[in-house]
Structure 1
């Protein structure tokens, strides 16, 4: 957000002339300065605001911080004191998510009247100028005070104004010449008898918008539930100055003051006059909250002692008034982010200055070796990074919309969740019991941004509800998941590389197993597995370490892809159960370097389709000596002289070369393996090729 230094001085006249000193004061106040540009007499400051501080998104909010930090007096700008009465415009509020609402009637007396030059300069710097005096006055009031103000053309409003929730199928036209946008049912809106006038707290529609021909105005100033505004703005894909302010929490006591500033600008410019009293169908009724702090606890938190009187004086600079010893009333601008004593301790720390707080050396020891799990996770992560994957981080919570990608029925293993009964944001109301839904959602998000080469992984936890768990709620199970989509070699220029598929991820698992010195196998995914109906039935597998289930991999099911809007893209998913990969008898590290390479041999059996490769592998493993290193399938093909239904399967057999073994000894073992297979399956037609 861009602000002018002259505009800040209108609120804090004593600000230092030294620009670097002002920048230091902004930084010390927790306002990140992205840049300062001086063009002649004008200095423009670009600020980055904290996500939970909606009050900062205005000149008044930034001025409050500077005045408190520098110990300077804070002034205000002229505002008209509005009178409310029952004779005001007819307006009703039908939703409790509208916390306060005012509507002030105006008559435009001079549409071409100009607002003060400094006001126009502030609007131009912020990129909010429209050239319409009434609209600019409303924008200026929001920019200066932090209270959004919106104007409707009263002659285009049909009947009483009502604030309510949208009905199924209702739509609003946001831009001239475009089709109306249908709203999600339950969206908070402002409407008249015939149409929707605005999406509350987000954006106004075009059908009652102020224009150069407007002669009567209804000036709206309100306060809305932050979550409602955030959801509405997200559904529309919009971010406006009003929504940015409302979704971070606006001051529910300020609507009249914000409207009063806009009215003062218009009346002083000779652009408009009030046409009656202001309607106020809803005034915020809740008392301002209080927070109690303890002086001793504060001293421990900050590392220095402050008397209660000293704390009261410092907090008063930020608008916190002491109601009784140690109990402070939170100002309306801060009720959304100040809830705990530690929040007030942070205010004190900013007032004192973080650099002024005493520093103490952190306790230090000699360190500790990484645990077995830490070593394992590092090994898995390094292997995936080496294969081109990027580590990502997802939330421990999700909502129904994310879970709908998998569409589990009521009796499905993924249907039960540990839920938050009073979640402030329904998008994060359930502890996740799977990672596939978020992985697919991440793929969809990347594709929306035209990124179709996707290799993601994460080490996280899933929470499986169980009354038998130690905590009485759920088992926390550590997992590593990965998702691959796109070309296996996007940098190749000579010809098109194959897409990453089931076998690409299987190779990744085999590489991880090699580095962890684990004996990995793949078997068909049983239908009772929780993810079985979310993965492709013929391109999925369960991962086994020995005989223990240790993960799953497979191509995402077409139904899941369709619900996620992936089109023809076919991502593949991998999930490893971390606890099953933790071996007590062997560390999760690379095997020691051997000077002699392992001894490799191949056996090729012609088999009917009634005998699977896994069955032959099991027989050979049972017959092999303990110095066998690996045994795996490397090729399957149909030989030229094969009978109908026959195929040839090639197995790669790797033996440890230490101690040294003769060729005769190796060949003798191969004879044993061939004899074991032909004895077991000879009657079925299995033979050495």
Structure 2
């Protein structure tokens, strides 16, 4: 929103000597974002010029350059040659006879850019023909300013070469540009910004002058016929709850927009068009209420506001024919011919033209959501839609229409009809019972009751403070009509803090109370991520959306519950309409993309949610927003939400250890995935068991490990992916993967771990080699060794597996290193041998192992 200081000063008292930077800083103090400052930093000569001659030449680089002769009045008479100025220009959007803005030598443009006569492209250029951004009038740099297009043909016809362009365009007046956040829609007007500046100055008595304070006539039966027929399918979503219509007849179509109004519109970033249109834009900028002007002669006699019908179209003012949606709210002529998309843009059939003499002024209040959806649906972001979708004051509608009528009568020479139409279905805002101690509790500043009440009243709230006499801490607050964002205690607390001054909030480091740190689940998840990162893996984040054919590519069995995926009603991409049931389902994209970018050695992991419905889900109801859903509705909502366990997935390809001068590298294999899961389990002090799993997709049936807790609870799987899966997903050969349930590990690690005392006595190491059948799992042999070795056993480690000519067919040799240590003495050789023999005996009994 661009705000000229001279216009702002009409509605509020500026601080003595305040410049644009001072006003912008004041607005920042009350929470508005300064975007830019325009004007006030240009010194002349900056004049109007008329192009008399031009010669265009295309340079070697293909860029066209124009050598122009420009009449700039008496400013342009060169002292020696006595002829018009010759200026070199790179723009091509103007022709001979056009009026342009010329900066002559000696002028200083925004940013301290000084203009001087200089030789360029082989000729002397005595100045510069200016574009909008070069003089701070806008951001357009596509071409130079043509005044007939900027100000209109009629206004440009009154100009002469040599006229001061600084005064013409209001460039001496500083303009503040502010960024309006979605919750502060009232600041899309001089009315709102003047109020905010008034707050920044302490809300002095009489310091704010309401621009909408005009007398408005009561509605009567002689006004233009208006009907509100909104048949929205959404209950309570009335698209239009107020519509004011006023008619001004006999406007002189030759009347021009007053120069002061055209200048203000230009300063605000809007192009003057015609008197009727400029008046509606001017009033919109002043009070924040968008208006629309219809040519009465193009209407049949009534206006009906309704939703669009299937198949209807409308050619809007930008000459684009638009197919309307049944949710679009329309302004129609007699209920049939669409005239405008309500709150967005009018239609070409009823627009005000150069011959219009009778104008119907529309001032209406439209539902923000309805306007926002139509604006985005048709990709039309207009000045009206930006205001309506943020919330327009429903109480200013009649005043805005009256302001427009008065300006049309004053400057257009018309007369206003006695009939007044005001269809008003608005409802008053309900009072909120506010605890006046809440702002202090939320913000941390001790605001007194009197200060809170005073700020709320300055904001425009009606405050019932009758409880002050009884020491009741509650007051009843009715927010002003222009503040739809004020709903509950945090909203009012924010306003109190904002108006009192954010700078008054002390910078104090809060002291946390006990028991409010990370939960056990949060700490566990961080440990899991740290352990995987410490193992050399890189964390990635993928979107949880998958294609329908992915289950087939992963070779999931027909009865696998991972095939039961939730389908999105509005997917971001029709190619991926399902939610993942496995982390690996989306992690493969990250691996494939890295490999495609030339990264051969990749090891990535992700922690995230998967969606496992486990069967048909219930249908989610659409509860009312008027109150909290009841228990039955909540139960149905929860029944429609799938289970969402947290999983971790790992995917790797290439080399685990690179090759170099030290020797050959080592490719990643299934054991690296098992080791990664074991690393996580060790970090959480959760014992796990590893066994083979011959049939769990998408892993290779002979290279897949099943990882469980000691009680048999499944943790996950790790190993090498099936070759057919690798080929279907276009992954590198021998790609390995792991996926495990983080929630299971969180639950298993909930019990505190008791640390064992550390023995200072030396360990005793002994190795055993056992012959077992080839189908016996090494984990089963290890478990048997542990069970028979006794309490002195400190660790068991498998360090060799052998199958070859020295071992019978169908058998394998497993070599283990057993470490024994006593807490109170050095173990003797006889004791160690006894422990070892007992361990071997237990393994022989449990697995049929024979010591080599």
Q: TM-score, normalised by structure 1?
A: 0.62
Instruction: After TM superposition, give the deviation of residue 212 of structure 1 in Å.
Output: 1.9
8 A contact 1:82–1:278 mirrored in 2? no
Inter-partner Cα distance in structure 2 for 1:118 and 1:671: 103
8 A contact 2:289–2:400 mirrored in 1? yes
Matched, 1:50 2:199: no
Matched, 1:213 2:380: no
Paired position in structure 2 for 1:30: 31
Inter-partner Cα distance in structure 1 for 2:242 and 2:293: 17
| 1:21-170 alignment runs, 5 A limit | 21-39=22-40, 40=42, 41-70=172-201, 71-72=203-204, 73-77=207-211, 81-83=215-217, 84-95=219-230, 96-170=238-312
Q: Deviations over 1:309-334 (max 9, x none)?
A: 33222212111121343112211001
Paired position in structure 1 for 2:2: 2
Match of 2:412 among 262, 270, 285: 270
Inter-partner Cα distance in structure 2 for 1:545 and 1:238: 56
Instruction: After TM superposition, give the deviation of residue 672 of structure 1 in Å.
Output: 4.7
Inter-partner Cα distance in structure 2 for 1:54 and 1:3: 15
Inter-partner Cα distance in structure 1 for 2:670 and 2:293: 60
Inter-partner Cα distance in structure 2 for 1:267 and 1:670: 111
CA change 1:31–1:177 in 2 (3 A) is closer
| 1:287-686 alignment runs, 5 A limit | 287-325=428-466, 326-334=475-483, 336-364=484-512, 371-376=523-528, 386=538, 389=540, 414=566, 435=579, 459=608, 473=638, 477-479=644-646, 515-517=676-678, 523-524=696-697, 548=714, 578-579=742-743, 584=748, 622-626=775-779, 661=800, 672=810
Inter-partner Cα distance in structure 1 for 2:505 and 2:221: 54
Q: Deviations over 1:56-110 (max 9, x none)?
A: 2111111111112212411134776443311111111112321111111122523
Inter-partner Cα distance in structure 1 for 2:247 and 2:318: 25
Inter-partner Cα distance in structure 2 for 1:356 and 1:460: 43
Paired position in structure 2 for 1:643: none
> What number of residue pairs does the alignment pair up?
516
Unpaired stretches in structure 2, ≥5 consecutive residues:
43-171, 231-237, 467-474, 546-563, 572-576, 587-595, 598-603, 619-630, 654-667, 681-689, 699-703, 723-737, 751-772, 783-795, 814-852
Instruction: After TM superposition, give the deviation of residue 264 of structure 1 in Å.
Output: 2.7
Q: Deviations over 1:19-57 (max 9, x none)?
A: 443232211111011222343432222212222221121
Secondary structure at 1:477 match in 2 = coil
Paired position in structure 1 for 2:387: 245
Paired position in structure 1 for 2:364: 222
Inter-partner Cα distance in structure 2 for 1:660 and 1:576: 26
Q: Deviations over 1:623-659 (max 9, x none)?
A: 4534999xxxxxxxxxxxxxxxxxxxxxxxxxxx977
CA change 1:129–1:38 in 2 (3 A) is closer
Secondary structure at 1:111 match in 2 = coil
8 A contact 2:279–2:408 mirrored in 1? yes
8 A contact 2:3–2:175 mirrored in 1? yes
Deviates more, 1:459-468 or 1:339-348: 459-468
Q: TM-score, normalised by structure 2?
A: 0.51
8 A contact 2:715–2:740 mirrored in 1? no
CA change 1:303–1:254 in 2 (3 A) is same
CA change 1:583–1:172 in 2 (3 A) is same
8 A contact 2:251–2:358 mirrored in 1? no
Secondary structure at 1:144 match in 2 = helix
Inter-partner Cα distance in structure 1 for 2:778 and 2:479: 75
Inter-partner Cα distance in structure 2 for 1:192 and 1:509: 73
Q: Deviations over 1:594-620 (max 9, x none)?
A: xxxxxxxxxxxxxxxxxxxxxxxxxx9
Provide the alpha-carbon RMSD of the alignment: 5.2
Inter-partner Cα distance in structure 2 for 1:51 and 1:545: 51
8 A contact 1:172–1:182 mirrored in 2? yes
Instruction: After TM superposition, give the deviation of residue 457 of structure 1 in Å.
Output: 8.1
Inter-partner Cα distance in structure 1 for 2:331 and 2:339: 5
Instruction: After TM superposition, give the deviation of residue 461 of structure 1 in Å.
Output: 7.9
Q: Deviations over 1:421-468 (max 9, x none)?
A: xxxxx99xxxxx97469x9xx9xxxxxxxxx99x99884686977899
CA change 1:199–1:583 in 2 (3 A) is same
8 A contact 1:79–1:260 mirrored in 2? no
Inter-partner Cα distance in structure 2 for 1:260 and 1:393: 55
Inter-partner Cα distance in structure 2 for 1:380 and 1:108: 80
Q: Tell me: higher relative CO, structure 1 or 2? Use CA pairs within 8 A at least 6 residues apart.
A: 1
CA change 1:262–1:479 in 2 (3 A) is farther
Secondary structure at 1:197 match in 2 = strand
Secondary structure at 2:487 match in 1 = coil
Inter-partner Cα distance in structure 2 for 1:107 and 1:252: 26
8 A contact 1:113–1:269 mirrored in 2? yes
Paired position in structure 2 for 1:283: 424
Inter-partner Cα distance in structure 2 for 1:38 and 1:184: 43
CA change 1:479–1:116 in 2 (3 A) is farther
Q: Deviations over 1:535-573 (max 9, x none)?
A: xxxxxxx9986695969x99xxxxxxxxxxxxxxxxxxx
Matched, 1:203 2:342: no
Inter-partner Cα distance in structure 1 for 2:476 and 2:527: 49
